[in-house]
Amino acid sequence: MPSVPKRPSGHVFRVERARGAVWYAKYRLPDGRQLQKKLGPAWTGRGRPPADYFTKRIAEDWLRDTLDEARRGTLAGMVRTGATFEDAAEEFMRYCEHDRALKPSTIRGYRSVVDAYLVPEFGERKLESITSAEVEAWRASLLDGRSGKPLSNATRNRLLVLLHGVFRRAVKVWGLPMNPVSGVERQRVRSSGDIEVFSPEEVWALVRAAASEQDGAIYLTAAFTGLRRGELIALRWRDVDFTGQILRVRASYAGARLTSPKSGKVRSVPLAPPVAQVLARLAERPIATGDDDLVFLGDAGSYLDGSALRRRYIEALERAGLRQLRFHDLRHTFGTRMISHADIRRVQEWMGHADVQTTMKYLHYAPRGDEAALVAEAFGTESPEANQPPSASPARI
């Protein structure tokens, strides 16, 4: 017959020591385990006690809060999972890679965070022993591994989200009673919303500085279609519809794996005449022009090396004397140019954004001359001085 959980109970007591009195708490958990914890030195002076000192009332408050957590089943250490945080982190990575089949680039990003920030801090700790207070202290202490400077709030929040995911998976797998990250608030992040993009002249300068005709075609296609680098690498000739003047985005290639586009959906993007012309020239090459062949060829007809493409792109920027913008900023260039010529829903569809909120970051690039006229109309088109006759000197009072 299973044992019935007992109601948690306990008491506090004071022990006199040579170096001063100390408060302790002794309590029983619902599973029958008895625990004793040293709370801290006793405060014998007047007024409010310093931090980490205890009066009888403070000790009793600590015990009451602890017993309340034990009754709710949220007290750290109540459940014995037998797993360490490192076990949970590996299970989370397995789950993301195999069960959820996340993209290789996402998996690489997760792995770098787990190895650099999470496991070094919590790796050998038992899952059930990690508390929200410890997570908050860890977040506050985070430093950049290279510069030694504090991480930005945005980066701290990203690490916190990943840590939350590890514990959320642990709750399901090991029956952890609570996710200690759930009680930790994200830090405020102020974003300027500014995006760095190329001007049309800079795009053409980049194309002219490309190391090869194919690289130039890639840069131009990226800027004129908004395709991501992995989508460009995965593009095949069957996806190029010269007659219908569209490109179909069916796949993405990164981390030696072919996957669906980031949104998970096939989409179509307008094929502008300048892009059609450079792609038509590529189609005149003597090999690899069949429907299933790649548009942008790597070694021996295989996929392009994304890292090598990025290096050649940086070199082309230097040759052209351009700012060191990211390859991804060619995609932003497309978004900022198109938002002033098409409605936001069409731009969202062309760029493959799952959420229109992502597309809205381009809205402040759309021209709004009519809004200036609205303000002028609201306040009147003439200034007060315009309705008065000119005078040689101002009136005196």
Question: Which residues are annotated as catalytic?
Answer: 228, 262, 328, 331, 353, 362
Spatial separation of the C-alpha atoms in residues 350 and 344, rounded to whole Å: 10
Closest CA to 135 of 109, 97, 163, 95: 163
Using DSSP, state whether 155 is helix, strand or coil. Answer: helix
Provide the token pair at 298: 């790597």
Q: How far is CA 190 from CA 136, 194, 258, 375, in A?
A: 20, 12, 36, 28
Q: How far is CA 118 from CA 17, 71, 123, 266, 371, in A?
A: 39, 30, 7, 36, 49
How, if at all, do strands 34-41 and 252-254 pair?
unpaired
> How many Cα neighbours within 13 Å face the side chain of 268?
9
Spatial separation of the C-alpha atoms in residues 337 and 164, rounded to whole Å: 38
Report whether 40 contacts 14 (CB < 8 A). Answer: no
Adjacent-strand bridge partners of 267: 249
Provide the token pair at 99: 């069960």
Using DSSP, state whether 259 is helix, strand or coil. Answer: strand
Query: Directed axis angle between helix 344-351 and helix 328-338, to 10°?
Result: 160
Using DSSP, state whether 394 is helix, strand or coil. Answer: coil
Spatial separation of the C-alpha atoms in residues 64 and 169, rounded to whole Å: 30
Plot region of 13 (φ>0 → left; ψ -120 to 50 → alpha; else → beta): beta
Spatial separation of the C-alpha atoms in residues 123 and 175, rounded to whole Å: 19
Provide the token pair at 356: 């229109």
Number of residues in the chain: 397
Spatial separation of the C-alpha atoms in residues 66 and 61, rounded to whole Å: 9
Residue 386 has phi, psi (to 5 degrees) of -70, -20
Report whether 206 contacts 198 (CB < 8 A). Answer: yes
